[in-house]
């Protein structure tokens, strides 16, 4: 049984039946059976399907945004744009997949030699709760346009959001079973990965869970793409546009109540502007409104689950006990719901919990640095390597520093974000492989060499 709980009230929304082993195998079989006909379609035919799905998503945008607000606490003013972003992703690959997968001629000793990109088969996507629509389409759109069929195992926290995605495919008239929703409980995931009809696995989630998925997939010799956690640094130098940097750093940290892998989590500020910039952050964070995620006036909704909230508070408490200054928040609120206050921790060092662990919530940790070299050193002193941001006037120098940062993506004077046009992913315990852009669609294809005498 999958139970959806409203994090704003702490009350159960509904129970949803989970598939048993037999039903799970049947659903995977349906996606597998659909592969032969789907891979035989043209790019133009696939594009028509993805565009139709995007249209249905937009038609259902308010309803889907409310589902996300109710199931995992995302404010509706963020939920609507997330649905739009998912639709845009579908349209982007509809427009560009054929060009990304065009056969490449390569010179050799043959009269003609080339590489063609062909689908692998049926894929399994294992998705988290924090961006139910966007993270689903980041997996689905390129995989389907490449000619694969997709099994979607969404998080147990968001069963209605997952069904809404399946409903959009059905309403769009998509061929049956090219995308199959798989509502199963977590202990069944290993069996799904090991099913011989699953050709590859895409996983987004924590580093711990990702390690388990990678181990199972590896034991079956199945390729996988892992997008895992992050403890992203945001470096702010004295010559930066401090007002703009503060605006963007706060936005990055509090999107989805801070429950984002690529949020700015460790703010490293040059010593000469440290006090000034920290006060800028405090002022902006203090102005944010916590509340009902179904209200447009709400900036920050609740944490998705109480166990996540309790762990976040442990991280804050350990950091303060180790010597950090708590300038804002830091106390568990009374009352219903899984709220955590916007929290600002200053004078955090690399040995403290908020820098060593990923904090998944509206908690910002700030530290002074002597210069850019020290900032880069501290930024790299983490087991994660997802994203990083650099704020400084000298963009040439910033690009040199970007080359030294151990991260999958770096934003200079801007926000770290995912964009269908650009590859996204991490290194170290933030995962491997890439999603999005031309790189993402080539993760789950067979790059087949053809040599003609």
Tens digit of each residue's pLDDT (9 = 90 or more) over 26-81: 999 999 999 999 999 999 999 999 999 999 999 999 999 999 999 999 999 999 99
Name the helix (H) or strand (E) containing 202.
Answer: strand 198-204
Cα separations (Å) of 25 from 32, 192, 195? 10, 8, 8
pTM for the predicted model, two decimal places: 0.97
| CA-closest candidate to residue 72, choices 280, 270, 293, 272 | 293
Would you place residue 149 in the very low, low, confident or very high pLDDT band (cuts 50, 70, 90)? very high
Domain range annotation of the chain: 2-228+428-452, 232-412
* CATH hierarchy code of domain 232-412: 3.40.309.10
Within 8 A by CB and 6+ apart from 263, the residues are 230, 232, 252, 253, 255
The pLDDT score that the predictor gives to residue 65 is: 98
Per-residue model confidence (pLDDT) at position 259: 97
Percent of the chain with pLDDT over 70: 100
> Does CATH number 3.40.605.10 belong to domain 2-228+428-452?
yes
108: number of Cβ within 10 Å: 12
pLDDT band of 413, cuts 50, 70, 90: very high
pLDDT, tens digit (0-9, with 9 covering 90-100), for 94-145: 999 999 999 999 999 999 999 999 999 999 999 999 999 999 999 999 999 9
Active site residue 227: yes
- Say what the pLDDT of residue 79 is: 98
Phi and psi dihedrals of 318, rounded to 5? -65, -35
pLDDT confidence band for 399 (50 / 70 / 90): very high
Residue 132 pLDDT: 98
Select which of 227, 270, 357, 443 is catalytic: 227
Q: Identify whether 276 is a catalytic site residue.
A: no
Per-residue pLDDT, 123: 98
Which of the following is catalytic: 150, 234, 261, 353? 261
């Amino acid at each position: 049984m999958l139970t959806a709980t409203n994090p704003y009230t702490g009350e159960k929304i509904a129970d949803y039946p989970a598939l048993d082993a037999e039903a799970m195998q049947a659903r995977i079989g349906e996606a597998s059976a659909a592969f032969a006909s789907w891979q035989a379609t043209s790019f133009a035919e696939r594009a028509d399907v993805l565009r139709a799905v995007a249209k249905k998503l937009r038609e259902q945008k308010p309803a889907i945004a409310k589902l996300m607000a109710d199931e995992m606490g995302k404010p509706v003013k963020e939920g609507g744009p997330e649905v739009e972003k998912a639709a845009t992703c579908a349209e982007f690959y509809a427009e560009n997949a054929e060009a990304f997968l065009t056969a490449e001629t390569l010179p050799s000793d043959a009269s003609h030699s080339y590489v063609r990109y062909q689908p692998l088969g049926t894929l399994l996507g294992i998705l988290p709760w924090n961006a139910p629509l966007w993270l689903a389409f980041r997996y689905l759109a390129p995989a389907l346009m490449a000619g694969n069929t997709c099994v979607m195992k969404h998080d147990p926290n968001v069963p209605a959001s997952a069904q809404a995605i399946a409903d959009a495919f059905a309403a769009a008239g998509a061929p049956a079973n090219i995308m199959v929703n798989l509502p199963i409980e977590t202990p069944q995931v290993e069996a799904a990965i090991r099913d011989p009809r699953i050709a590859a696995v895409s996983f987004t989630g924590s580093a711990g869970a990702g390690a388990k998925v990678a181990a199972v997939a590896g034991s079956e010799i199945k390729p996988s793409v892992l997008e895992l956690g992050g403890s992203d640094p945001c470096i702010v130098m004295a010559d930066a546009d401090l007002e703009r940097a503060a605006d963007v750093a706060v936005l990055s940290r509090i999107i989805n109540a801070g429950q984002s892998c690529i949020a700015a989590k460790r703010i490293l500020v040059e010593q000469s502007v440290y006090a000034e910039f920290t006060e800028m952050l405090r002022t902006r964070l203090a102005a944010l409104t916590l509340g009902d995620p179904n209200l447009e006036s709400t900036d920050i909704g609740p944490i998705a689950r109480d166990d996540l909230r309790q762990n976040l508070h442990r991280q804050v408490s350990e950091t303060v006990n180790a010597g950090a200054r708590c300038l804002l928040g830091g106390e568990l609120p009374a009352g219903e719901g899984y709220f955590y206050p916007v929290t600002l921790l200053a004078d955090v060092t690399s040995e403290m919990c908020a820098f060593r662990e990923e904090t998944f919530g509206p908690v910002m940790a700030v530290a002074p640095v002597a210069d850019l070299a020290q900032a880069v050193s501290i930024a790299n002193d983490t087991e994660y390597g997802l994203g990083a941001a650099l704020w400084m006037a000298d963009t040439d120098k910033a690009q040199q520093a970007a080359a030294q940062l151990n991260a999958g993506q770096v934003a200079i004077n801007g926000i770290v974000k995912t964009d269908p046009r650009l590859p996204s992913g991490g290194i170290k315990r933030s995962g491997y492989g890439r999603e999005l852009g031309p790189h993402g669609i080539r993760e789950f294809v067979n790059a087949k060499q053809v040599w003609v005498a």
